Amino acid sequence: MYIEFTLPKGPGDARGFALAVVRDKLYNWANKYNVEYRTKLFKHTLRVTFESDDLYTLFGLTWTPDTKYPSWTDYRLIVDLNNKT
């Protein structure tokens, strides 16, 4: 199971800026709730994992997309790794 943020597929500068926005928001969220997480870049996505499944519930209940960059800070919860749903 993991959280997935979709990054822009355009020029590298746009992707880099979007990645910085998501990472900053994620860092602030994790500090607020005292949560450790891991990230991995995979193609045009940033994947986020937690040690405990309970933390995915906390994330889902407390994460709010950025009002300035909502499409970059929207996420998908990937539960079935074979079907990506």
Q: What is the pLDDT of residues 10-44, one digit of tens each?
A: 766 888 899 999 999 999 999 999 999 999 999 88
What is the DSSP secondary structure assignment for residue 34, as one 8-state letter?
T
| pLDDT value of position 41 | 94
Q: Is residue 4 a contact partner of residue 47, using CB atoms and an 8 Å limit?
A: yes
What are the tens digits of pLDDT across the range 59-83? 999 999 988 888 889 999 999 777 6
Lookup: tokens for 72? 């970059």
Lookup: tokens for 81? 């790794």
Residue 25 sits at the vertex; the CA angle it makes with 29 and 7, to the nearest 5 degrees, is 130
Tell me the pTM: 0.87
